[in-house]
Structure 1
Amino acid sequence: MLSQASKHDIRILAPSFKLCWLGFVGLAVAGNVTWAADQRQREFFENRIRPVLVDQCYECHNSHGRRDGGLSLDHREAALQGGERGPAVVPGNPAGSLLLGAIRHANEDLRMPDGNAKLSEQTISDFVHWIESGAFDPRHEPPSAKTISDLTSWPSVRERRMRWWSLQPIAESVAPRASDDLAHPIDRFLAERLIQDGLSLAPPADRSVLLRRLSFALTGLPPTLEELTAFETDSSHDSVQKQIDRLLRSPHYGERWARHWMDWFRYAESHGSEGDPEIPNAWMYRDYLIRALNDDVPYDQLVREHLAGDLLAAPRINEALGINESALGLGHFRMVQHGYAPTDALDEQVRFTDNQIDVVTKAFLGQTVSCARCHDHKFDPISQSDFYALYGVFASCRPALLTVTSPAQQRLHRESMIELKDQIRRRLAAAWLVEIDSLASRLQRPEQQDHGALEAATGDPLHPLHAWANYRKQEPPANVAAWKSAHAAWQDVCRARDSFAAAGDVIHFRLTSDDYSRWPRHGMGLTDQPGRAGQFHVAEAGDTAIGGIYPAGVYTHGLTTKDNGYLTSPRFRIETDEVSVLAAGRNSRARLVIQNYPRIEGPIYGAKPINQPIPTWITFDTRYWKGDWAYVEIATNGDLPIGPSAPETRSWFGAVELVAHNRDATRPRNLPGQHGAVPLAAFVDGEPPTTPAELVTLYQRVLHEAVIAWRDDKLSDDQSRFLNYFVQQGLLSNSLASLGNLAPLVETYRRLEAELPVPTRAPGIIEGDVFNQPLFARGNHKHPADPVPRRFLESLDATPFPEKQSGRLELADAILAPENPLTSRVIVNRVWHHLFGRGIVATPDGFGRLGAEPSHPKLLDWLARRFVAERWSLKSLIRKIVSTRAFQQSHLAAETALAKDPNK
């Protein structure tokens, strides 16, 4: 028991105990407050400051490697100490902190990050707040060299950058129940934010204002007076919806939104620079967009058409216009600037391929991939390898004019004409076999006795009539000696041909062999296989039955000279003085293409005409371009990617082989001669004839064998040249007047041929030689490094593309993959931007770190998910947005709203 005194002592101590207890509690509370403040500062540093320092500063300012300017920023003491210019960070003093001045770009000679874009204003504001608050920094010790290496390695940097909002999976958002009077999900998303900010939707707009808004937004045109009157007097509950549907059905809707689309991509009708050459038929891409948008072609389909419209297994066919719509989507690839006759063709290629990459990745992905041309992206998870992976995709294609004629139009009459042509061949062969029996009398005709022609044959041992000219006026042994001389001359030709073909210092492509499968090509006149010797075409008019009989090769006019062709050789590096192509044709052209440069300018980028009926060598001087990659293109009239075309709609070419060679003995000659034929001696071994009668018998035998071989499609090249000469000279009939039973067949053939359509052409690209582009060190095309496999962005899908295709189809699949969070977000934001004047993301081309963050991220993701769920329909998306209270509200804002407007 306590004594009375003890109780008194306790009463005395009690107030002191209470004071002590309160003091202890106060200290604890103060400690908690300090701990909470430290925790907030730590979170702010870890979330807002450290990632920027690691990403933007550690590589050049660290304790173990580079320490530019004597500055390290990888721990607190180093940042406080600073470098050669003084302290980088002065706690509580933003103005005295050199780091802040550097990232603000306050001084011309001190701008960080070095050589890169300025950091976002939000990031700069974070650093200001950090320094003002005392520059809390838990990094008391410098990191190890391994830690620095790991933190600054690209995989580590990419992983951190992948945390950016736009690269996160699209969330499943549910519209909040923000207000009972709002039924539309979009309005409920917006109302939730408005309520948080003490705001509300404005009242509905006046009906005349609303109709003008809808009309301009959807069609780009004001409503007519009649439309305004009808709307203002329509009191039905769905009057607004009826106007929306009417405007979406208007043909002007496609015109309006095609203009937006062409802002996302581009549109041009010429290439700029000196001369400003036209892009042939560029308008077809514009009209394609208008039709596609009016028809509400799904956005994912348009993505595929813009990247690989020529490769789709099931393209969209417009039977009314007779065209392949899908192939027209490739037109945007051609709408790039091409400089005038650049002296460095690879530099030019880098520039326009860079532009293609920039447009595609911004338009579909909102990513600035071109910023990684010279180095890894400074802000986003885009590596320099990503840029060159896509470069290989686009550079593996070739600019071209695509034939977009519909399959039905391309098939028109073809089978019937092929059958008729075979009948014509057989009737001609039958007639010629009869005529060969009277060859002696035919050779004696007055028209064959032209003194000048026979004199030419006498002096040319390779001429088909050389033997006849000599045997007419010479007796043995002179005529026999002339025969032996001609035979020896032909043997020299054969040896020269064989020697040239076997030369080891030339590139040699033969279009009569499997080489043809390696030649990228396009057009209605080019088949999958090269043609055998004996090909011919039926003359389109006049008394002549056929136009010629050709050696083996590739010819565009097998059925009609209306058919077009664009034939390009495999890609090769120029290491010789010249490149020659053996070709024939009419109104066509050949061109040496350096580094995919499509313009025809000046002597170093010139095109050469093809206007010779027999295959003749066409030579290009390549000495200036040694070391560059090139290919040869051969095109019918109007089918070169750029260049004027004559009004003539009929043209053709035939191509036999291509060689790259030096200016010496390996240079090809037009063998066997300009007449394109071969001598009789080419087909005769053994003893020569001694009399004209024996000679005629030889002629008859050789011709008989040639005609039989032609009839049975077994002709050799030399036989085709020999037979063609006799047909062209009239020694074998080629006149419809003298071939009575042939005329009805030819007349029927010509009638069908006249009904064939002229190919419809549009700008685009075709698959070329597929290759992986070497990475250019620091973006310098003169310093190639290792090739980069073609693929998509590694942060989204690093799967390599197939080896035998450019990868355009796979690129479209990757862009549209459900795992890719960018594509649907970007397009719904673009639509919102054009309807409201500002996107949910205020930077529609930039969804990276330098772009804005979404004002309503849940709404953006809800729109993106609904857009894909509703089959990528742009009209459905637009209808959904313009049906909201938000779109239809008055533009007159309340004073309370204006007071809080951050953008006023």
Structure 2
Amino acid sequence: MGFALALPVLTVPTAFAARPELDLASLPPPASHAVDFRRDIEPIFSAHCLDCHGPDRQRGGFRLDRRADALRGGDFHAPDIIPGDSAASPLIHLVGGLIPDEFMPVRGDPLTPEQIGLLRAWIDQGAPWPDDGSASQPDPTETHWAFQPVVRPAVPDAPTASDPGWGHHAIDRFIADRLAREGLHPAAPADRHTLIRRLSFDLIGLPPSPEEVEAFVQDPDPDAYDRLVERLLASPRFGERWARHWLDVVRFAETHGFEMNNPRPNAWHYRDYVIRAFNSDLPYDQFILEQIAGDALGVEEATGFLVAGPWDQVKSPDEVLTRNQRADELHDILNTTGTAFLGLTVGCARCHDHKFDPITQLDYFSLKALLAGTEHGERPLAAPGDRTATAQRLEALTAERLDLDRRLEALEPVALVAAADEDVPAIPPRRDPVHTGRNIDRFEPVHARFLRFTILATSGGEPCIDEFEVFTAGPGPVNVARATHGTRVEASGTYPNSAIHRLEHIHDGKYGNDRSWISNEAGRGWLRFQFPRIERIDRVVWSRDRSPKPVYADRLVTRYRLEVSLDGESWTLLATDADRLERGARPDSSLLAADPAESERDRLRQRRAVITTEMAELDRRPMVYAGVFKEPEPTRRFHRGDPMQPRETVDPGVLQFTAFRPDLADIPAERPERERRLALARWIASPDHPLTARVIVNRLWHYHFGEGLVPTPSDFGLNGAPPSHPELLDWLASELLEPTAGAASPWSLKHLHRLMVTSAAYRQSSRATDASPLAADRDAGNRWLWKFPSRRLDAEPLRDAFLSVAGRLDLRMGGPGWSPFEPNDNYVRVYVPKQTFGPDDFRRMVYATVVRQRPDGVFGAFDCPDGGQIAPKRSRSITPLQALNLLNSGFALQTAGFFADRLQRELGDDAEAQVHRAFALAFQRPPDPEELSASLRLIESHGLPLFCRALLNANEFVFVF
């Protein structure tokens, strides 16, 4: 970016080019391919030079935006560019750092060797310039590499004979081509002991057994490695290892976070879904569809992706806080969707247009509209084969119960009322007492334009009404109180500063306490409805909490008056509570017997009870924390991202920048909520989207090689890092979309895994001594992959390896996980790490309950994310606590004891055999004579458990080479 990488004044002495002390040999070599000015050179000038040497400023009289001025040179020397001779060009000397006191650019990052090589090649090729002789500053969003269509590039020619084994694999040709341009050569192949350990930890996250190592090392078949790859890819442990990577990306944990941090007991279903998806090689496009709209595809648990993140479950009467909580909830869902699948920081457009990428604030809220029906919560989970049948049965029962309710309403006794304010005649009440569910007030049909409900007393506190319905008389009754009917409602007052208790909720057609109205007066209040026209009505239905599983019985209206009017001035009393039984009382049996409608009511009630029981049984399925969905209200853009400053209504839609292919999306505003999410998922999963395939293949490369081809795996925008091997990235993306291997299917991730781990680049030695002596100096960061990058094991395979070599690892798959914390039921949870572990705690770490804000007591020190935010790339810290935990923690001591017990049990007291077996289990190789001797002395002086503890703390155990 020009704002950070400006090139200062070039003050080069006249005799500069002739200085004998210049170390020209240290310059990066010129690029070996033809250089295009617009593609290769102009971006370097635009990003690093034109702020100080462009049309607006010419420091030192030097200008680089026009060819004539660039070749003429500045005020203190000339020329800076000598076409055909980059070694003599002062510009190259300056950017190459040959003169430390005049290194360019002074501010910002220096030019990379690759960029210097491009400049050298351009100058050596005559410094060709476009016909107009100008260097423009094009809109970077139009030319950004990640926003271009994925096109399969040509595979480079096979490397020279000096790199045997690198000519058969497309990946290797791309890597070798880059190494050759940098003057480097790959390292020698790794030995088989190293390869099986590396591959096993990489693909399944576990060490190979000594028997597996011996069989592989002794296998003379040249296809032995390929068969090993296939066996590990087919292992059920593969999904367990690679699911953990994806769970990092989507911020998965099993507590809510924030100050309460309560558990999510049924979140584990999503973790198991990811494991199954990777084991079965579910096509990646289908994987995307199911995680965003699995409820529409019969894969209920997959939408756990949407609600895997932290959630502030504490409700507040403060409307500002409540609105911000909801905005933050949807922001987390939207931002994770954008980063996980598209590698775009969409969340940066919440308050304003994105500062770097072509994402507007309007785009942000259009995407938000697609996801606005998503809320945190649980829902029933049916077995895959039962889901359709269960849904159909529930739908039929719901319709039948609704019909029964209508028929029961018609048989409800008519309310008895007296004239004016007189008491109802002193006869025993025959109507049911008020209760939290459906309360019915039926009366003789009457014409009305206005209806008033006056509350005179409650069971305690301010009255609360969930939903208030007014039905027309005659066949096909219609609820004319609904807001969608055009009815307006007024109230005596509303509970202040509450987003869930609002007047508009009284007639929105949605049930439950969180969509209700509360008065602002204790024990009293009134509601007045005005219909758009005169209606003929005969009953009212109202409730305190009509949700499927009501939990609220407070604030119940116990005394009331119901009146109607044609003009809003003169009122007619229709019903009161006076003829209802007291709460808890039962009606007089003689009155029931005298009522001719009672037997039919009783029959309908019994049938309704049977239906309700069956529906409860169907709903008694396992619950899954995978979100609940509702039809959303219209989405409005928030000024500066502030929910208290809503502006215009925004239609649901996708990112509108042309390169993101908005034409692939079909999202009319009137679609049901789940259809909106499904349309979003299909847009993301389209093979024509420029980002989706690139992002996922880069993630796979990152986990196999320790660093992605794009080092910023969740930011492919202009603020992210460019790819080290852009052609290789696009070739891999093309291979994912349209595989050339005959047996591979489109979107197969296992196909990509197979390609990567069978490459010669992957099978290189990790030792610098096995590579070119110049490699470490020219590419200390191993960006060009001249050797395999060794790295420390992640927390999960490290813990699993402890238990595996000790013979205690429990390989049971799936189901609720185990907790590394002591149990507690505090209102505000406190998670205390366990100090001792039993058999239930010896399962793989992928099944450990992930607690936000509280990492694992031992392995949390090894950069294990807690799900508080997305973690596409784990940190690689080195701290004293890591060494202390592996050496002295209760888990380490306990596992070292198990390891010693295993050796003693298998080999008796034969110390030499114990050492050989321990090395084979821990390091996948035999000890050398010096190691054997030192180990025997250690066992003799300090015992077998301490020897085992030492092996478990060795770099060779903790690292993969």
2:681 is aligned with 1:802: no
2:730 is aligned with 1:861: yes
CA 1:831–1:496: 2 relative to 1, 3 Å: same
1:461, distance to aligned residue in structure 2 (A):
8.3
What CA distance in whole angstroms lies between the structure 2 residues aligned with 1:383 and 1:393? 16
List aligned pairs for 1:76-115, cutoff 5 A.
76=57, 104=108
- What code does the residue aligned with 1:292 have? A
- Residue 707 of structure 2 aligns with which residue? 838
2:288 is aligned with 1:303: yes
- What code does the residue aligned with 1:836 have? F
- State the SS of the aligned residue for 1:402: strand
- Residue 819 of structure 1 aligns with which residue? 688
What CA distance in whole angstroms lies between the structure 1 residues aligned with 2:301 and 2:681? 17
What CA distance in whole angstroms lies between the structure 1 residues aligned with 2:685 and 2:235? 29
Question: Is residue 100–residue 124 contact of structure 1 (8 Å, CA) maintained in 2?
Answer: no
2:652 corresponds, among 787, 790, 815, to 790
2:494 is aligned with 1:577: yes
What CA distance in whole angstroms lies between the structure 2 residues aligned with 1:124 and 1:375? 35
CA 1:340–1:752: 2 relative to 1, 3 Å: closer
Kindly name which structure, 1 or 2, has the bigger radius of gyration based on alpha carbons: 1
1:266, distance to aligned residue in structure 2 (A):
1.0
Question: Is residue 299–residue 872 contact of structure 1 (8 Å, CA) maintained in 2?
Answer: yes
What CA distance in whole angstroms lies between the structure 1 residues aligned with 2:467 and 2:49? 57
1:294 corresponds, among 279, 282, 285, to 279
1:763 corresponds, among 618, 626, 632, to 626
- What code does the residue aligned with 2:729 have? L
List aligned pairs for 1:396-407, cutoff 5 A.
396-405=373-382, 406-407=386-387
- Residue 165 of structure 1 aligns with which residue? 145
> What TM-score, normalized by structure 2, do the two folds share?
0.50
> What TM-score, normalized by structure 1, do the two folds share?
0.53
CA 1:871–1:40: 2 relative to 1, 3 Å: closer
2:769 is aligned with 1:903: no
1:339, distance to aligned residue in structure 2 (A):
6.9
What CA distance in whole angstroms lies between the structure 1 residues aligned with 2:761 and 2:36? 37
Question: What are the Cα deviations for residues 837-859 of structure 1, in whole angstroms up to 9, with x where unaligned?
Answer: 11111221121222222222221
1:392, distance to aligned residue in structure 2 (A):
2.8
2:232 is aligned with 1:243: no
- Residue 441 of structure 1 aligns with which residue? none
1:234, distance to aligned residue in structure 2 (A):
2.9
- State the SS of the aligned residue for 1:887: coil
- State the SS of the aligned residue for 1:240: helix
What CA distance in whole angstroms lies between the structure 2 residues aligned with 1:755 and 1:43? 62
2:749 is aligned with 1:874: yes
- Residue 202 of structure 1 aligns with which residue? 187
More helix by share: 1
List aligned pairs for 1:452-491, cutoff 5 A.
468-469=427-428
What CA distance in whole angstroms lies between the structure 2 residues aligned with 1:572 and 1:161? 50
- Residue 284 of structure 1 aligns with which residue? 269
Question: What are the Cα deviations for residues 185-206 of structure 1, in whole angstroms up to 9, with x where unaligned?
Answer: 2222222223333433333322
List aligned pairs for 1:550-565, cutoff 5 A.
none
- State the SS of the aligned residue for 2:762: helix
Question: Is residue 511–residue 553 contact of structure 1 (8 Å, CA) maintained in 2?
Answer: yes
1:44, distance to aligned residue in structure 2 (A):
8.4
Question: Is residue 316–residue 325 contact of structure 1 (8 Å, CA) maintained in 2?
Answer: no
- What code does the residue aligned with 1:170 have? V
1:409, distance to aligned residue in structure 2 (A):
5.7
Question: What are the Cα deviations for residues 456-483 of structure 1, in whole angstroms up to 9, with x where unaligned?
Answer: x9xx9888xx665599xxxxxxxxxxxx
1:573, distance to aligned residue in structure 2 (A):
13
User: In the comparison of the two structures, how many residue pairs are matched?
Assistant: 598
What CA distance in whole angstroms lies between the structure 2 residues aligned with 1:673 and 1:574? 19
1:327, distance to aligned residue in structure 2 (A):
4.4
CA 1:590–1:767: 2 relative to 1, 3 Å: closer
- Residue 720 of structure 2 aligns with which residue? 851
- State the SS of the aligned residue for 1:390: helix
1:402, distance to aligned residue in structure 2 (A):
3.0
2:208 is aligned with 1:223: yes
- What code does the residue aligned with 2:636 have? Q
What CA distance in whole angstroms lies between the structure 2 residues aligned with 1:351 and 1:171? 38
Question: Is residue 171–residue 756 contact of structure 2 (8 Å, CA) maintained in 1?
Answer: yes
Question: Is residue 375–residue 629 contact of structure 2 (8 Å, CA) maintained in 1?
Answer: yes
CA 1:871–1:490: 2 relative to 1, 3 Å: closer
CA 1:591–1:758: 2 relative to 1, 3 Å: same
1:390, distance to aligned residue in structure 2 (A):
2.0
- State the SS of the aligned residue for 1:284: helix
Per chain length, whose mean CA-contact separation is higher, i.e. which structure has more relative contact order (CA < 8 Å, sep 6+)? 1
Question: Is residue 269–residue 335 contact of structure 1 (8 Å, CA) maintained in 2?
Answer: no
1:78, distance to aligned residue in structure 2 (A):
9.5
- Residue 30 of structure 1 aligns with which residue? none
CA 1:786–1:637: 2 relative to 1, 3 Å: closer
List aligned pairs for 1:585-604, cutoff 5 A.
590-592=513-515
- What code does the residue aligned with 2:754 have? R
Question: What are the Cα deviations for residues 676-699 of structure 1, in whole angstroms up to 9, with x where unaligned?
Answer: 8599xxxxxxxxxxxxxxxx99x9
CA 1:232–1:673: 2 relative to 1, 3 Å: farther
- What code does the residue aligned with 1:822 have? L
Question: Is residue 175–residue 185 contact of structure 1 (8 Å, CA) maintained in 2?
Answer: yes
- What code does the residue aligned with 1:792 have? V
- State the SS of the aligned residue for 1:774: strand
Question: What are the Cα deviations for residues 730-751 of structure 1, in whole angstroms up to 9, with x where unaligned?
Answer: xx999x9xxxxx9xx9999989
Question: Is residue 378–residue 626 contact of structure 2 (8 Å, CA) maintained in 1?
Answer: yes
- What code does the residue aligned with 2:688 have? E
What CA distance in whole angstroms lies between the structure 1 residues aligned with 2:580 and 2:619? 33
Q: Identity across aligned pairs (percent)? A: 30
- State the SS of the aligned residue for 1:76: coil
CA 1:228–1:276: 2 relative to 1, 3 Å: same
List aligned pairs for 1:10-25, cutoff 5 A.
none
Question: Is residue 420–residue 749 contact of structure 1 (8 Å, CA) maintained in 2?
Answer: no
- State the SS of the aligned residue for 2:707: coil
Question: Is residue 413–residue 756 contact of structure 1 (8 Å, CA) maintained in 2?
Answer: no
Question: Is residue 615–residue 676 contact of structure 1 (8 Å, CA) maintained in 2?
Answer: no
What CA distance in whole angstroms lies between the structure 2 residues aligned with 1:310 and 1:47? 46
- State the SS of the aligned residue for 1:841: coil
Question: What are the Cα deviations for residues 216-254 of structure 1, in whole angstroms up to 9, with x where unaligned?
Answer: 111111112232233233333332222222222222211
1:590, distance to aligned residue in structure 2 (A):
1.8
What CA distance in whole angstroms lies between the structure 2 residues aligned with 1:803 and 1:396? 13
- What code does the residue aligned with 1:903 have? A
- Residue 562 of structure 1 aligns with which residue? none
What CA distance in whole angstroms lies between the structure 1 residues aligned with 2:611 and 2:468? 36
Question: Is residue 285–residue 328 contact of structure 1 (8 Å, CA) maintained in 2?
Answer: yes
1:898, distance to aligned residue in structure 2 (A):
5.1
- Residue 256 of structure 2 aligns with which residue? 271
What CA distance in whole angstroms lies between the structure 2 residues aligned with 1:787 and 1:417? 37
- Residue 346 of structure 2 aligns with which residue? 369
What CA distance in whole angstroms lies between the structure 1 residues aligned with 2:444 and 2:298? 57
What CA distance in whole angstroms lies between the structure 2 residues aligned with 1:749 and 1:80? 86
CA 1:576–1:252: 2 relative to 1, 3 Å: farther
What CA distance in whole angstroms lies between the structure 2 residues aligned with 1:817 and 1:45? 33
Question: Is residue 331–residue 764 contact of structure 1 (8 Å, CA) maintained in 2?
Answer: yes
List aligned pairs for 1:43-54, cutoff 5 A.
46-50=42-46
What CA distance in whole angstroms lies between the structure 2 residues aligned with 1:748 and 1:366? 48
- Residue 475 of structure 1 aligns with which residue? none
Question: Is residue 404–residue 762 contact of structure 1 (8 Å, CA) maintained in 2?
Answer: no
1:824, distance to aligned residue in structure 2 (A):
0.2
- State the SS of the aligned residue for 1:173: coil
What CA distance in whole angstroms lies between the structure 2 residues aligned with 1:395 and 1:733? 39
What CA distance in whole angstroms lies between the structure 2 residues aligned with 1:275 and 1:531? 48
1:411, distance to aligned residue in structure 2 (A):
5.8
What CA distance in whole angstroms lies between the structure 2 residues aligned with 1:840 and 1:396? 36
- What code does the residue aligned with 1:862 have? W
- Residue 3 of structure 1 aligns with which residue? none
- Residue 364 of structure 2 aligns with which residue? 387
For the aligned residues, what is the CA RMSD? 6.2
Gaps of 5+ in 1: 1-38, 58-70, 83-88, 105-118, 144-150, 318-323, 437-456, 472-488, 515-529, 534-550, 555-569, 595-613, 619-632, 639-644, 647-652, 654-658, 660-664, 680-695, 712-722, 737-741
